[in-house]
Amino acid sequence: MEMHTDVLLVTANVGSLFDNVGEIEGDWLREFFMTVHMHKPRFIALHFQEVGGKDYMVNMGHAENFFRTIETSSEMADFDRVCVYVDSHFKAVDSFTALGSMYFIHKSLKNIQQYDFNLKEFKAVSGHNKYMGSLEGVLTVEKEKFPKNFWPDFKWSRKGYMRTRWLIHNQGFDLVNVHLFHDASNLIACNSSPSVYSANRKKALRYVINRISDSSYSPLPFFLFGDFNFRLDTLSLVQNLSMSADIQTVKKDSSNEVEKIICEEKDNDHKLLKYDKEISAFHDVITEEEIHFPPSYPYSEDYTKPTQYMNTRCPAWCDRILMSHSALDIIHRRQEGECGVVYNTVGSNICMGDHKPVFLCFPMKTITH
């Protein structure tokens, strides 16, 4: 018999939340709890990137408090089983990813198990399981930082992925937290289409997909959510805007070198989607629900301007929830008039930091014998 279990997946780059300790945390948590309250999921997966922010050596203690606050809050009291994985061991330079994943299981959800990657079998989940530090030797999570030789021309940074595997009412699936390489320079990004950074992300994402699809463990439907750092095809965008928008080229005083290009066009959030091309290279293996929300990055960190973008980068849909085609098949499409699948941002009118968290809520098809 087919059943449905309501699932909420959330991805949040929380770097600026920790860089502005205390300022936005209260509102951030309230918006997250409101999303939980509104959609009433039975299973929640929260994927965080940049835990501890840029100054992670100073802020990692605060990060641990942040996770504890979510876990022990009255709003989450009905979730009686919790699994927390935070890669906070920043001294292990070769393996530190600053990724954090939290999973909440509602007391009404009886039949759920988690995979042990060592024993290669599913086991019942009970109580609160918290793993903070290096995550070495934790058997229910797989974690990898991208190899050093991946980007020989770029600074090696704390990017990688983390995977857990679940079984709800006999339906198995993987949840993968991922953080890909960003655009270091807007001007270099403008040099070619696709940009050199886009090529790096493509290589890294292929690597992740190949790793989670290889024969080490029998492949299952997977959801891949995190900060992909996907950017718009900037060269095409600038060429297009140069016909319709005001363009200013700013040169350095000392030389004739271009320092920045300023393009201004109003109210074009949704027109930008046609320049969002990075996922198209992966349509053979992954898909996504339709996007109806503005770019998730880079929002102003000024508390009073929660819907304004910073002019440091071109707005982009960096934060995404992607899935394998087999995962798309286990999303139940409800009938007309019923609440179905929702893909949106958290806190669209509140300052959440430079990234708005992105969530996907859906009824998952599960099987009972």
Give the pLDDT score at 243: 67
Distance CA 132, CA 90 (A): 11
Host H or E run for residue 327: helix 325-328
What is the Cβ-side half-sphere exposure of residue 117, based on CA atoms within 13 angstroms?
Answer: 17
Give the pLDDT score at 261: 64
Strand partners, 181: none
Distance CA 317, CA 321 (A): 11
> Which residue from 15, 98, 3, 6 is spatially nearest to 359, judged by alpha carbons?
6
Give the pLDDT score at 20: 81
Distance CA 97, CA 157 (A): 8
Please name the amino acid found at residue 153. Answer: D
Distance CA 196, CA 202 (A): 10
Strand stretches in 197-279, DSSP E: 222-227, 246-251, 258-264
> Which residue from 136, 72, 79 is spatially nearest to 107, judged by alpha carbons?
79
Assigned CATH for 2-231+269-367: 3.60.10.10
Distance CA 327, CA 314 (A): 31
Q: Which residues of the chain have pLDDT under 50?
A: none
What are the tens digits of pLDDT across the range 84-136? 999 999 999 889 999 999 999 999 999 999 999 999 999 999 999 999 998 99
Give the pLDDT score at 47: 98
Structure tokens of 73?
Answer: 């809050």
Residues 6+ apart with CB under 8 A from 81: 104, 105, 112, 125, 126, 127, 128
Q: Is the pTM of this model over 0.85?
A: yes
Give the pLDDT score at 259: 65
